[in-house]
Amino acid sequence: MNLAELESLTLPPHLNRMAPPDFSALNFTNWRNTSAPFAIEIGCGVGYHPIQWAKQNVNCQILAIERTKIKFEKFCRRLSQHANLEQQIFAAHADANRLLPHLLTLNSVDNYFLLYPNPEPKRRNHRIAFSTLTKIVVATLKPRGRLTIATNIENYANEVRHWLPLKFSLILERETKIIKDDLLCGRHRFRSHFEKKYLDRGDCCYNFEFRKTNPF
Ligand SMILES: C[S@@+](CC[C@H](N)C(=O)[O-])C[C@H]1O[C@@H](n2cnc3c(N)ncnc32)[C@H](O)[C@@H]1O
């Protein structure tokens, strides 16, 4: 896929009708330090993961996107207690479908995180393996860039494992299954609120790390 193709990706009609995202591109450009490795989290919820990730990756920046207002506001309150992370985390209240095509260039992102995205099993075009958003994610990922996807839904995990390497220039580098015992005996520290909720109630969580193999 080239830049023209990325720009011309057809968004579903309900997204095309929506107004541009409430997002200051100028603030984002001023915040972004292009020499720092750059990650994006889509659907960060109340923001536990981007905050922990930023603390562990002090030379990196992360754009954390959440479209649900109440969750985004909780995230901002949480973030306001970490003034030292201002240069590392940019919080965006937006739908990633609309934000990312406006914001990014090809091959510009080092890492993407999709932790427990809400799958819509009946709407094929909205699921990770078949969505426009995934095309945008892969197109904007740098060669050798990493895409981390986690889910607690087995069918969804099967779909991701099978289709992503077939449809995109991605290879599956690592797959991990996480269970409650891993939390209890300290083998795994939960990364997000939903991960904790799913593990606490006994779900198995699947974690996939893909690498992009080729530039577009
Ligand atoms: C199941 S929650 C998981 C939240 C968080 N990642 C966690 O693991 O605790 C999925 C989140 O993704 C958000 N989301 C789904 N699609 C999105 C999109 N296109 N753009 C931004 N946020 C999105 C939802 O609003 C919701 O908060």
pLDDT over 70, % of the chain: 87
CATH number (domain holding residue 57):
3.40.50.150
d(CA 7, CA 5): 5
With respect to residue 129, please indicate whether it lies within any of the assigned structural domains: yes
With respect to residue 39, please indicate whether it lies within any of the assigned structural domains: yes
With respect to residue 23, please indicate whether it lies within any of the assigned structural domains: no
Give pTM, 2 decimals: 0.90
With respect to residue 19, please indicate whether it lies within any of the assigned structural domains: no
- Determine which residue's CA is closest to atom 24 belonging to ligand 1: 43
With respect to residue 4, please indicate whether it lies within any of the assigned structural domains: no
How much is the pLDDT for 22? 66
Residue from 23, 118, 127 to probe ligand 1 pocket by mutation (most atoms less than 8 Å from CB): 118
- State phi, psi for 81 to the nearest 5 degrees: -85, 5
With respect to residue 101, please indicate whether it lies within any of the assigned structural domains: yes
With respect to residue 16, please indicate whether it lies within any of the assigned structural domains: no
With respect to residue 42, please indicate whether it lies within any of the assigned structural domains: yes
How much is the pLDDT for 54? 98
How much is the pLDDT for 16? 43
The residue among 85, 32, 30 whose CA lies nearest residue 57 is 85
Number of domains in the chain: 1
How much is the pLDDT for 84? 95
- Determine which residue's CA is closest to atom 17 belonging to ligand 1: 43
Question: pLDDT under 70 in the chain at which residues?
Answer: 1-22, 119-121, 215-216
- Domain that residue 203 falls in: 28-212
d(CA 124, CA 167): 14
